[in-house]
Amino acid sequence: MALRFRQMVTGLIVSVLFTTFSEACYGSSGREILSTQTLKHDLTLKPDYDTGNLEGISKITILNSSQESITRVPLILYHMLQVESAHTSDDGTLAFTQHVVPMKGHEKMLVNYIEIALDEPLSPGETVTLATQYRGKLAGYMEAGNLYVKDRVSGEFTIFRLDCLAYPVVCYPSAAAFRESAHRDIREGWDYLLEVTVPESFVVANGGKLIGKTHKNGDVTYSYQNIKPAWRIDACVAKYGVVQDEKASLRVFFLPDHEEQARTVLDALLRSLLFFSECFAPLRDFEGFAVIEVPDGYGSQADVTCILLDAEAFRGNLSRLYHEVSHLWNPPCLDEHPSRFESEGLARFFEYWLPEKLDKKTGQLQRGLEICRKRFRDQCKRDPKYIHIPLAHYGRENCTDASYTKGMIAFWLLFRIVGEEAFIDIYRSFHQEYRDKGATLEDFRRTAERVSGKDLQKFFEDWVFGTQSSRYLLGDLSLEQILKLYVVEQSAPAD
């Protein structure tokens, strides 16, 4: 408690000084985006269940992808984790500074901002491996408004992930820089080697390939290696059981007493992967996939080879599973400020449509539309900016949460305007053309018009690049009445 109090006081003090400190961090230009590329991240973690502490060793190999030499490398880490030492790959000691600061653009979120001074400048095109040893506690980010990030070391359930900054990230302490770092990593990917040491009664779950388990003095060290280029590392620790389909290389890690439910999830995972593969094309270089159950409230999210799935899905609500599986077919977004329309808006549509399509649960899509319309209205009531910002600008204006609501309704409208067959054809063509090179929102618009053969200019102007859609959703027209504004009724033939 005393440590947490000191951290809070420190955070309040530095928030007053943050403007001056930012200039020192980013330089006189105010630059926040560092031109580096992460190539590899080796991460060793050891939670202490008696004290609640976490010990970590992070080794990050980065490439200087800029045109200038780099002398200092910024890292951000959870604000209660303190770096104890920094080294190069050959164990040369490096000088560093660390300060608890608010994340610029998300000031309620405190981070430990570390700057490592390189012993010699890193020239353009050169690489360096930076090792940091750190220790401390995790207590989540619920106070910052990230209600699902309640991560901590606990004998019931422990999770280590990017959302709580349980490991260092090469980044300045800025929400914009953090988003850009994540988008860059999604586009480029990197390798990781993860080792987590826990008591033998626990199981470590990860979406990579298990390459070893080493037992020593009542502990076990799980070693995982990424299967595909990664952009994050997720590891969960609990008394997990596992069910799997070895032929399909699928695994489901389940919490105690949930084995029967896990088999249902495994079946739904297989069916949804087959559905999307048949609709949009099989995934390339598929070597396996895992679903890891997390307790209620920890949030469902997807990586390239893993889904963290909320326990609700293990009680029969498979919609979130379908949502997360659909993300595997998202081409990398090349927009400078991604709106998340083509990813989260579409995934939310699949979340409500696939229970009807695969599980014969009628009424789910209509229920989803009602939920999303109400939530969008609530978003506009809390902050009127949502009324006046086009969906295409959600990323720039930091309101991408509305892509889950208005975005879902927009995809439903597109589905109804062009029909199911053309809708699938649109996304098949979009995925196949851009899955490797990435795409912009404008690329999606052009693909939709080309493949459907329909004039979709008014739809995209109203729902993606303009704000007329906000007035429709806040008005009295039903969604079916709104649909009629975009569908030309065919006259019945004369007798």
Domain boundary among 128, 153, 188: 188
Q: Identify the three-state secondary structure at position 42.
A: strand
In a domain, 11, yes or no: yes
Per-residue pLDDT, 5: 32
Give yes or no: residues 14 and 109 share one domain: yes
Is the model's pLDDT at 17 over the cut of 50? Answer: no
Mean pLDDT of 147-165: 96
pLDDT-based confidence at residue 33 (cuts at 50, 70, 90)? low
Mean pLDDT of 159-178: 95
Q: Give tens-digit pLDDT for 87-129.
A: 997 778 999 999 999 999 999 999 999 999 999 999 999 999 9
Query: Looking at residue 262, which CATH number applies to its domain?
Result: 3.30.2010.30
In a domain, 410, yes or no: yes
Give yes or no: residues 350 and 480 share one domain: yes
Domain span including residue 287? 200-328
Query: Looking at residue 61, which CATH number applies to its domain?
Result: 2.60.40
The whole-angstrom separation of Cα 346 and Cα 326 is 8
Nearest CA to 306 out of 321, 316, 319 is that of: 321
In a domain, 309, yes or no: yes
Give yes or no: residues 358 and 478 share one domain: yes
Per-residue pLDDT, 32: 67
Cβ proximity of 248 and 320 under 8 Å: no
DSSP letter, residue 287: -
Per-residue pLDDT, 47: 98
In a domain, 57, yes or no: yes
The whole-angstrom separation of Cα 151 and Cα 80 is 12
Per-residue pLDDT, 398: 86
Q: DSSP for 135-157, please give it.
A: EEE---SGGGT-TT------SS-
Give yes or no: residues 356 and 263 share one domain: no
Q: Identify the three-state secondary structure at position 455.
A: coil
Give yes or no: residues 358 and 453 share one domain: yes
pLDDT-based confidence at residue 63 (cuts at 50, 70, 90)? very high
Nearest CA to 253 out of 227, 261, 287, 160 is that of: 261
Q: How many domains does the chain have?
A: 3
Give yes or no: residues 308 and 436 share one domain: no
Per-residue pLDDT, 2: 38
Mean pLDDT of 428-446: 95
Per-residue pLDDT, 11: 37
The whole-angstrom separation of Cα 271 and Cα 265 is 10
Mean pLDDT of 69-79: 96
In a domain, 334, yes or no: no
Mean pLDDT of 448-466: 96
φ/ψ (deg, to 5) at 191: -95, 155
Is the model's pLDDT at 21 over the cut of 50? Answer: no
Mean pLDDT of 196-204: 98
In a domain, 195, yes or no: no
In a domain, 495, yes or no: no
Is the model's pLDDT at 352 over the cut of 50? Answer: yes
Query: Looking at residue 461, which CATH number applies to its domain?
Result: 1.10.390.10
φ/ψ (deg, to 5) at 419: 95, 155
Give yes or no: residues 27 and 123 share one domain: yes
The pairing of strands 306-310 and 289-294 is parallel
Domain boundary among 142, 161, 188: 188
Cβ proximity of 217 and 178 under 8 Å: no
Give yes or no: residues 158 and 98 share one domain: yes
Give yes or no: residues 224 and 170 share one domain: no
What is the overall mean pLDDT for the chain? 90
Mean pLDDT of 327-336: 91
The whole-angstrom separation of Cα 210 and Cα 220 is 13
Mean pLDDT of 179-188: 87
The whole-angstrom separation of Cα 30 and Cα 27 is 6
- In percent, the amount of the chain with pLDDT more than 70 equals 92
Give yes or no: residues 63 and 18 share one domain: yes
Domain boundary among 188, 222, 256: 188
Give yes or no: residues 132 and 228 share one domain: no
Give yes or no: residues 403 and 281 share one domain: no
Per-residue pLDDT, 35: 83
In a domain, 193, yes or no: no
Handedness of CA 247, 206, 269, 295 (dihedral sign): positive
Least confident among 16-20, 454-458, 465-469: 16-20
Q: Give tens-digit pLDDT for 241-252.
A: 999 999 889 999
Q: Which residue has the higher pLDDT, 35 or 116?
A: 116
Contacts of 226 (CB under 8 A, 6+ apart): 191, 192, 208, 209, 305
